[in-house]
Structure 1
Amino acid sequence: MSSTPPPLPPHALDRLRAAVRLREAGDAESARSELLALSGTYPRDPGLAYQTAWAHDVLGREAAAVPFYETALAGADALGAEDRHGVYLGLGSTYRVLGRYAEAVATLEAGLAAHPGDGALTVFLAMARHNTGAHHEAMSALLTLLADTSGDPGVRAFRKAIAFYAEDLDRVETGD
């Protein structure tokens, strides 16, 4: 028995695409209703689960989004890279919003392992680490990202110093 569900049939894919268009057009509630109906028929499809989770998130229904994100993550190998990234980011940030900080850190770390150097995952992981009390790691990650990616002229002028202190933020010079 395969652990990967069969692909959605064409009529279900059409309904899924239509629901995504509804969400993208700002009608997240209609999208959610359609996605829930489809999910009842195809409960293990990771792409459908991801879109259903996303529709819940857009509506501020984070707790209801979690089981759909978890289903999507369980089948993430069947998703494209962009959707896999979205699942890690969505589930990790949703865990964080719900106060499930350790799960947020673990999910976002797994996301960064799968998508090394991703700025969005780095930022959300820093927030989750802050919530767990790992302030040094959070600040270091944000400073490194800032030094590496900022186009701000002031930041660019001090990029080397910012990157240096990102490595050792608590460093104190005791020279003359």
Structure 2
Amino acid sequence: MNDTAPTPGERDRLLKEAIALRGAGRREEARERLVSLAARLPGDAEVAYQTAWAHDVLGLETDAVPYYETALAGTGLTADDRRGALLGLGSTYRTLGRYEDAVRVLEPAAAEFPEDGALRAFLAMALYNTGRHHDSVRLLLALLAATSDDPSVRAYRTAIEHYAGDLDAIG
């Protein structure tokens, strides 16, 4: 194993190869290569994000967390990768039973990326897990009203949005 930092071109090639391996279903091999690359580039946010993702797809959530945290602490992630890292870390915290941490990550992430329904859905689950049931249902109803293609939901969209804003409203 080479412990020296790769050149920028080598870094890009190695990262691309590992991502291709993951895409081809060779997930463990991809994970091993990414762990090696992350060790050589400990501050590289993109490498850390891809390494976290490689752990997550293998069900290695505990091992994914420090890589997600490194990715989000660094710079250089595209907006889409930042969104993915926030979703990955928040949902991973939730999977591990770290519900308050999940809310701490997902709440500002949903505000930063309001168009992302997945962030709001995972936030709703984490809110539920923390006992914030009212906030969870409110968020899910708003998401349903905004995104459903079901004609019967669309027909009652205004009412659903109204009650999402005030679940205790009468009339």
Q: Is the structural similarity TM-score above 0.5?
A: yes
Counterpart of 1:111, as a letter, is A
The answer to whether the 8 Å contact 1:7/1:45 transfers is no
Q: Determine the structure 1 residue equivalent to 2:14.
A: 15
How far off is 1:44 after superposition? 1.2
Aligned-pair identity in percent equals: 57
> RMSD of aligned C-alpha atoms?
1.5
Q: Determine the structure 1 residue equivalent to 2:97.
A: 99
The answer to whether the 8 Å contact 1:53/1:65 transfers is yes
Q: Determine the structure 1 residue equivalent to 2:86.
A: 88
Q: Determine the structure 1 residue equivalent to 2:155.
A: 157
Counterpart of 1:120, as a letter, is A
Q: Determine the structure 1 residue equivalent to 2:30.
A: 31
The answer to whether the 8 Å contact 2:21/2:29 transfers is yes
How many residues of Structure 1 are paired with residues of Structure 2 in the alignment?
Answer: 167
How far off is 1:30 after superposition? 0.5
Question: What is the CA–CA distance in structure 1 between the aligned matches of 2:109 and 2:7, rounded to whole Å?
Answer: 25
SS of residue in 1 equivalent to 2:135: helix
Question: What is the CA–CA distance in structure 1 between the aligned matches of 2:116 and 2:12, rounded to whole Å?
Answer: 29
1:44 aligns with 2:43: yes
Correspondence for 1:141 among 139, 142, 151:
139
How far off is 1:7 after superposition? 9.8
Counterpart of 1:39, as a letter, is A
How far off is 1:115 after superposition? 1.2
Task: Give unpaired runs (5+ residues) of structure 2.
Answer: none
The answer to whether the 8 Å contact 1:93/1:104 transfers is yes
How far off is 1:12 after superposition? 1.5
Q: Determine the structure 2 residue equivalent to 1:3.
A: none
Question: What is the CA–CA distance in structure 1 between the aligned matches of 2:165 and 2:6, rounded to whole Å?
Answer: 46
How far off is 1:62 after superposition? 0.1
Deviations 1:59-102 (A, max 9, x none): 00000000000000101x41111100001000000000001111
SS of residue in 2 equivalent to 1:78: coil
Question: What is the CA–CA distance in structure 1 between the aligned matches of 2:154 and 2:148, rounded to whole Å?
Answer: 7
Task: Give unpaired runs (5+ residues) of structure 1.
Answer: 1-5
Question: What is the CA–CA distance in structure 2 between the aligned matches of 1:7 and 1:114, rounded to whole Å?
Answer: 33
The answer to whether the 8 Å contact 2:6/2:40 transfers is no
How far off is 1:8 after superposition? 6.2
Cα distance change, pair 114–149 in 1 and its aligned pair in 2 (3 A): same
Tell which deviates more after alignment, 94-103 or 7-16. 7-16
The answer to whether the 8 Å contact 1:88/1:110 transfers is no
How far off is 1:111 after superposition? 1.1
Deviations 1:27-77 (A, max 9, x none): 1101000001111111110000000000000000000000000000101x4
Q: Where do 1:111-150 residues align within 5 Å?
A: 111-150=109-148
Question: What is the CA–CA distance in structure 1 between the aligned matches of 2:145 and 2:114, rounded to whole Å?
Answer: 17
Question: What is the CA–CA distance in structure 2 between the aligned matches of 1:110 and 1:144, rounded to whole Å?
Answer: 17
Tell which deviates more after alignment, 19-28 or 58-67. 19-28
Counterpart of 1:146, as a letter, is L
